[in-house]
Chains A and B, each alone.
Chain A
Amino acid sequence: MSGRAVALPYGVGRISLGWLALVAIAAALVGVGAFAYAIQELEGPIATGLRDWGTMGGATWGLYVSFIVYFVGVSFAGITVAALIRILGLTYLRPISRVAELLTIVSLILGALSVLADLGQPLRGIANLFRYARPQSPFFGTFTMVIAGYLFASLVYFYLAGRRDAYLMAQYPSPLRWLYRAWAAGYQDTPEEKARHERISFWLALGILPLLVIAHSTLGLVFGLMGGRPGWFSALQAPGFVVLAGVSGIGHIIVLAALLRWSLGLRDQPEMAAFRWLGQALLVLGIIYIYFTIVEMVTAGYAGREHEQRLAKLVLVGYYAPFFWTGMGALGLAIGLLASQALSGRWSIPLLVASGILANVTAVAKRLIIVVPSLTHGSLLPYGIGMYIPTWVEGAIIAGLMGLGALTILLFMKAFPIMEVPAPVEEVRP
């Protein structure tokens, strides 16, 4: 067989014009982001719109921290999907499991990079966060557990789950055969190996599940434990973060799955059942999140201390109301779209994609609403109100990170099958 005779499954190794265009856009974003980061490194964090709260009248955390939370939130999807397949046996989700796991890994890395963008001393941060790690700090959960533990566990899972496909891919002649051989690492897809593989995946998925809840909760606790910050101190913060993570993560998966189905020209994969299941999950999580938000606002507005009330008012009808209502409106619309499909029993992929995008608009808006108002308007001492307008540097770095994520997924798609390869190899249609 010559090197190009057999088409590899799912467009691996085939470079199309559309793909090239996407790669170019993503790479351009990465370039702009890198340029902006260079400016931030040269001038210092002064290049951002962030400033000290208090006498300086700024917000200490802003876009970067909001996106740390957002990116880590998106990572929710992958492991959940993987775990549901293994534990609940939802096999029709199988085709999207790889892209979901990849999304987890990519978004966790983007979360870690946004941490570095935010730190005043990023290099020292990498060293000291491990060297002097203090479990008493809520950041321990974010840095050490989420970004190291959760990422590591996800990588192991991703690697193990890919071995079977790597073995199958190694059967094809291709320039990347060495990669598949190395990835498969002796895996032969014999029945015993298959059984062992299933067993390991099951336990690993089971093990990662509590890690997932803990990880997203600790991220919530970063805010929820701050007694001196009106708007943050709340026991609902942790569960709220888990749910909103689910909303954004599942929204992302829907969009990615639809993009795959469309771009790979697959008529029936991922199956409609998978989309339906994702839509239902998004619907339920979205409703829970709306419920959480209402409970939180009622508590703060009705029984909250003076400062809590002032902040609740500011978010509901004041300066930050446009952000809040954009976020909640988007979620409401998404829920409406999903509910109408669920009631009629007819699911449409474009509508699902729209709800997925809307869910992510909510996730970003809501994160900004959590982070910023408590800093600019949440002072317990009469400092006066603050102001935060992100600079283009912050925006460009975030856009660059998103570009980096897209670029990683795009490149991966061409090197490894993005969906599980149906066995045996001979039956694969190009």
Chain B
Amino acid sequence: MPRYAMTIDLSRCMGCRACMVACKVENNTPEAHFWMYVFRFEEEEYPKTRVWFLPRPCQHCDNAPCVKVCPVGARYKRDDGLVLTDFQRCIGCRYCEVACPYGVNYFHWKHPDKAQYLDYTDDPEVKSRTNNTMPPYRNPDADLRYGPEERLTAGAHHYRGVIGKCTFCVHRVEKGLEPACVANCPVRVFEFGDLDDPNSIVSQKLRTNPHFRLLEEEGTKPRVYYLMGNPPSPEVRQVMPVKGGKRG
């Protein structure tokens, strides 16, 4: 059984947010849902101002508070470390979202077809651009059952009234592919691999680079390691936050 982890090299990230777009395309997430999010930070005052970036996927914690609090076991952790959501069991209590200190969970506040960037049910503009076919182009892989437990994983179809979050693109990982953000970063900020394999790229990176994990003091034991940088201090200011609005 592999032990999956991700490394994020902060010295490389230039804040282009291509990973956020890749994630949206891959997982069809509704408007204002960012399973991957890139903070743009500003620190200190002019002329010493420093701008830096911090991508934030789900941390796939080993001691995941979200898994602990789920009243029905819809949020679960696989043996390989992926933290996933059984969207057919989830009752939409949002306790996982409240318990997670990283803010990576997104609830489907309305029917996802209506929550896309265009209204997928009756927007003439959509039809005019798509030759009269109606999106969403749903990735059929995303709704399959995976792993030895054969469970659903919060794939890309999305249902009203349940929670969704980053899956490390389990449907790609199962095929031996990298998660979409990893594969699409133009400057190779992310690496994804098996911690148990000393030759895997993540193991090598962790051996040779200083690293930290986000909010380690919370005891969540994240599986996402940040290389070459420091955790955001309380003084950082977020600049250019996404204008997702409150459209849910």
Contact = CB atoms under 8 A, between A and B. Distances in A.
B215 interface: yes
B98 A120 contact: no
B92 A54 contact: no
Interface in B96-136: 97-111
Contact of A379 (B32, B93, B103, B109): B103
A1 B70 CA distance: 61
B201 interface: no
A350 interface: no
Contact of A51 (B237, B238, B248): B248
Given A46-B109, A133-B71, A379-B103, A121 B232 contact: no
A125 B92 contact: yes
B101 A228 contact: yes
B237 A381 contact: no
Nearest to B34: A55
Contact of A54 (B68, B72, B103): B103
Interface in A71-108: none
A122 B160 CA distance: 12
B188 interface: no
A198 interface: no
A323 interface: no
B246 A125 contact: no
Determine which residue in B89, B90, B91 has the highest number of CB atoms from chain A within 10 A of its CB, and name it.
B91
- Chain B binding surface SS class: loop
Interface stretch (A137-145, A153-161, A284-292): A137-145
A55 B234 CA distance: 17
B73 A380 contact: no
Interface residues of A, number: 49
A306 interface: yes
B21 interface: no
A225 B56 CA distance: 24
Contacts, number: 163
A124 interface: yes
B214 A137 contact: no
Nearest to A140: B71
Given A55-B32, A120-B92, A381 B246 contact: no
A116 B234 CA distance: 38
Interface in A110-149: 118-122, 124-125, 128-129, 131-134, 136-140, 143
Contacts of B70: 134, 137
A120 B162 contact: yes
A414 interface: no
Given A45-B161, A51-B109, A132-B71, 17 more contacts: A44-B111, A45-B160, A53-B103, A56-B248, A118-B93, A119-B92, A128-B72, A129-B71, A134-B72, A134-B73, A137-B71, A139-B71, A228-B65, A381-B56, A381-B101, A381-B103, A383-B241
The 10 A-B pairs with the shortest beta carbon distances in the complex, nearest first, are A120-B92, A120-B161, A228-B101, A54-B103, A139-B71, A125-B91, A46-B110, A44-B110, A132-B72, A46-B109
27 contacts: A43-B110, A45-B160, A46-B248, A52-B97, A52-B105, A52-B107, A53-B97, A55-B32, A55-B37, A55-B103, A60-B97, A119-B93, A120-B92, A121-B161, A122-B91, A124-B92, A125-B91, A128-B72, A128-B89, A129-B72, A132-B74, A134-B70, A134-B72, A139-B71, A139-B93, A228-B215, A375-B98
